[in-house]
Amino acid sequence: MCPPDPADTAHSVQTAAPPAPARVGRMTHSFVLHIPDADLEPEPLDPEQILAGTPEVTGKVVWESQDGRQVRGIWQITPGVVTDTEADELFVVISGSATIEVEDGPTLKVGPGDMAVLREGDRTTWTVHETLRKVYAINL
């Protein structure tokens, strides 16, 4: 999915005109966040990325490095089919399921408890079967 501009977004799917996502802010101390019911903010998709359905994306940046090159957060997408170009990302699925087809690469089937790694520049098609929520670490 697109490498996000840390000032605007921190999720896998790049948005058309990304609003500034909700942020916990720069981490000055250790913290805990309950992921399954964390409040997320809307992050509208670029309509050109939507191939099927009416998927909606929400997310929250929970930590960002001072130089903006490392971003950690929560991201969610409702069922549908979308395309994107990925950032260097590691994520763990909390709930839901999807099939991620990597152009000229593998097809990844992800669900609760699965960890996945996406390479910067991978072109992907996400088929979201049930609302997927993940936590991620992106390196820019």
Q: For the chain, which domains are there? A: 22-139 (2.60.120.10)
Hey, what are 129's tokens?
């079967």
Which pLDDT value is given to residue 29?
79
Contact (Cβ atoms closer than 8 angstroms) between residue 74 and residue 35? yes
Average per-residue pLDDT for the chain: 86
Which pLDDT value is given to residue 1?
44
Predicted model pTM? 0.81
* For the chain, counts of helices (H) and of strands (E): 0, 10
